[in-house]
Amino acid sequence: MAVKLLELGAAEGAGPVNILCSCGHSFCSKCSEKSHRPVGCDVVESWIKQNDSSREDQLWLVANTKPCPACKAPIQKNAGCMHMTCPCGHHFCWLCLGPFVNHDSYYSCNKYDPTEFQAAEDSREKSAAALKKYQFYYERFEHHDGGRKRCLDDWLEQMSLKQLAVQQALECPLEEVKFMTDTMQLIAESMNCLAWTYAFRYFNDETLPAAKLRQLEKIQGHLEHRTNDLYELADPHQETALAHLDYLCKGRYEVQSYGQRLGHSMRQLREHLESLCKYLEGGMQDPDAAFGEIRPGYWKCARCPGVQRLSKRKCELCGAWKPR
Active site residues: 81
Based on the number of CB atoms within 10 Å of its own CB, is 76 exposed (0-12), middle (13-18) or buried (19 or more)?
A: exposed
Tell which residue, 192, 198, 222, has the closest CA to residue 287: 222
Q: How many angstroms separate the CA atoms of 219 and 275, rounded? A: 7
**Contacts (Cβ under 8 Å, ≥6 apart) of 285:** 279
| Single-letter code of the amino acid located at 245 | L
C-alpha–C-alpha distance, residues 94 and 32, integer Å: 49
Q: How far apart are alpha carbons 37 and 274 in whole angstroms?
A: 10
Cα–Cα distance for residue pair 57/51, rounded to 1 Å: 10
Instruction: Give the torsion sign (CA, 101, 104, 108, 110).
Output: positive
